[in-house]
């Protein structure tokens, strides 16, 4: 595969000074040749004019973070990355390629995730050209190539992972493991972009949501899962609180105010306290004026 090499060129300012001097000299020769009707001076002036023109067409300008790909009759002759006024073989053709960092956001695409659920996904990609020879000759249009491959990589990524996992927390998901998913997207994009001499600096998912046709159903499922998880946590805490309360009652503070409970009273106390702690609604106290035992 063709790779970038350094092209033969030189600083343009010294040659610009020479070009100006030769131009002034040719003008002076034209004047002297006309005054004295000297054919030799006229020929010399014409030669100098041709030299001035050849030097003039050999100049080209390179901006910072820009490179010039040099070719001659279709043959790659190297790349010039030195900014400023440059000069090279007048037969060289130069094509400017920006080396600046670029970014774009992919179009929001509708695709099925690993579980078959339709989702909408988009990503932002930050990239730059690192190998100008591959960018110019490896693909037809490296900018369009990067955009197309990025769209394809984002769709492939969405098909590789589920949007969310409600039961198995060990599964990598698009919504839950963003750092790992973004890293995998970066690796996938870099493999595709190597052919165009492009380095992908960052790839990050920006838009991620269920498709409208299933968004409401999935939202209800997420809410139900959250409620179940919350209730389980409340019950777990309530059990610990009831157990500790019963132990404190039976132990007392100084062994003289202990309240011993039999199995029936423990069950009744635990049921009442669990109702108070785990209930979603405020509880109404009931005063028992009798006794728990018959």
Domain coordinates in residue numbering, the chain: 10-98, 102-210, 215-278
Q: For residues 169 and 158, is the Cβ–Cβ distance under 8 A?
A: no
% of the chain exceeding 70 in pLDDT: 85
Q: What is the pLDDT of residue 234?
A: 77
Q: Residue ranges of the chain with pLDDT lower than 50?
A: 294
HSE-up (13 A, CA, CB side) for residue 104? 14
Give buried/exposed letters for 204-235 (b at 16+ CB in 10 A, else e): bbeebebeeeeeeebeeeeeeeeeeeeeeeee
Q: What is the pLDDT of residue 55?
A: 95
> Is the model's pTM score more than 0.75?
no
Q: pLDDT by residue (tens digit) across 165-224?
A: 766 667 888 888 889 999 999 999 999 999 999 999 999 999 888 887 766 666 776 666
CA angle 177, 182, 183 (to 5 degrees): 105
Q: What is the pLDDT of residue 294?
A: 47
Distance CA(85)–CA(83), nearest Å, equals: 7
Q: For residues 91 and 72, is the Cβ–Cβ distance under 8 A?
A: yes
Enter the tokens of residue 207. 């838009």
Which is nearest to 131 in space by CA: 277, 6, 266? Answer: 6
Distance CA(87)–CA(238), nearest Å, equals: 82
Q: What is the pLDDT of residue 263?
A: 75
Q: What is the pLDDT of residue 251?
A: 73
Q: For residues 118 and 112, is the Cβ–Cβ distance under 8 A?
A: yes
- In CATH, the architecture of 102-210 is 2-Layer Sandwich (3.30)
**CA-based torsion, 285, 288, 293, 294: positive or negative:** negative
DSSP string, 176-231: T-HHHHHHHHHHHHHHHHGGGTEEEEEEEEEEEEE-HHHHHHHHHHHHHHHHHHHH
């Amino acid at each position: 595969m063709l790779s970038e090499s350094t092209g033969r060129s030189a600083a343009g300012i010294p040659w610009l000074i020479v070009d100006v001097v030769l131009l002034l000299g040719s003008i002076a020769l034209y004047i002297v040749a006309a005054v004295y009707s000297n054919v030799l001076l006229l020929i010399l002036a014409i030669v100098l004019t041709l030299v001035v023109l050849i030097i003039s067409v050999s100049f080209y300008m390179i901006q910072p973070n820009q490179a010039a790909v040099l070719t001659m009759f279709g043959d790659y002759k190297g790349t010039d990355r030195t900014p400023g006024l440059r000069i090279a073989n007048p037969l060289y053709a130069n094509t400017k390629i920006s080396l600046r960092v670029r970014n774009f956001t992919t179009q929001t695409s509708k695709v099925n995730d690993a579980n078959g659920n339709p989702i909408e996904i988009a990503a932002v990609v930050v990239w730059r050209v690192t190998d100008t020879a591959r960018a110019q000759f490896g693909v037809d249009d490296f900018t369009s190539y990067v955009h197309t491959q990025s769209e394809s990589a984002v769709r492939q990524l969405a098909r590789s992972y589920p949007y969310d996992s409600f039961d198995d927390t060990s599964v990598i998901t698009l919504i839950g493991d963003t750092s790992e998913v973004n890293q995998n997207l970066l690796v996938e994009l870099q493999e595709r972009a190597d052919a165009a001499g492009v380095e992908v600096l960052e790839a990050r998912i920006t838009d991620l949501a269920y498709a409208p046709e299933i968004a409401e159903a999935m939202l209800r499922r997420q809410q139900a899962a959250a409620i179940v998880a919350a209730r389980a946590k409340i019950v777990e805490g309530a059990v610990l609180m009831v157990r500790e309360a019963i132990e404190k009652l039976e132990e007392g503070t100084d062994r003289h105010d202990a309240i011993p409970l039999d199995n029936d009273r423990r069950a009744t106390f635990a049921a009442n306290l669990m109702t108070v702690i785990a209930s979603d609604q405020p509880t109404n106290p009931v005063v028992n004026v009798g006794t728990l035992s018959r």
